[in-house]
Amino acid sequence: MMAAPIVFLAYLVRGVCGFGSGLIAIPILSLMFPLKVAVPLVVMLDYLASAGQGVSLRQSIQWDEIGRLIVPALIGVSAGLLIFHKVDPGLLTRFLGGFVFLYALYALWGPEMPRVSSWWAVPAAVSGGAVGTLFGTGGPFYVTYLKARQHDKTVFRATFACIFILDGAARVTGYVGTAVVDIQLLVLLAMSLPVMILGMYLGGKIHTSLSTEVFTRGISILLLASGASLMLR
| Domain range enclosing 223 | 4-231
Give the per-residue pLDDT at 54: 65
Give the per-residue pLDDT at 96: 74
Q: Please name the amino acid found at residue 128.
A: G
What is the rounded CA–CA span in Å between residue 210 and residue 205?
9
What is the rounded CA–CA span in Å between residue 189 and residue 186?
5
Give the per-residue pLDDT at 69: 94
The pTM assigned to this predicted structure is 0.75
CA distances in angstroms from 142 to 19, 24, 99, 228, listed in the order given: 10, 17, 15, 24
Q: What is the pLDDT of residues 40-54, one digit of tens each?
A: 898 889 888 877 766
The answer to whether 200 touches 49, Cβ cutoff 8 Å, is yes
Give the per-residue pLDDT at 233: 62
Cα-Cα end-to-end distance for the chain: 23
- Each residue's pLDDT, cut to its tens digit, for the chain (233 residues) gives 678 999 999 898 888 777 778 878 888 888 888 888 888 898 889 888 877 766 667 788 889 999 999 999 999 999 988 888 787 777 777 777 887 788 788 777 776 667 778 899 999 899 888 888 888 777 778 877 887 887 777 788 788 888 888 888 888 888 887 777 788 888 889 999 999 999 988 887 776 666 656 666 766 776 777 677 777 76
Give the per-residue pLDDT at 182: 82
* Nearest Cα to Cα of residue 129 among 159, 161, 170, 86: 170
If DSSP states are collapsed to H, E and C, what string results for the chain?
Answer: CCCHHHHHHHHHHHHHHCCCHHHHHHHHHCCCCCHHHHHHHHHHHHHHHHHHHHHHCHHHCCHHHHHHHHHHHHHHHHHHHHHHCCCCHHHHHHHHHHHHHHHHHHHHHCCCCCCCCHHHHHHHHHHHHHHHHHHCCCHHHHHHHHHHCCCCHHHHHHHHHHHHHHHHHHHHHHHHHCCCCCHHHHHHHHHHHHHHHHHHHHHHHHHCCCCHHHHHHHHHHHHHHHHHHHHCC
For 24, list phi and psi in degrees, rounded to 5. Answer: -80, -50
Count of domains observed in the chain = 1
Q: What is the pLDDT of residues 175-187, one digit of tens each?
A: 887 777 788 888 8
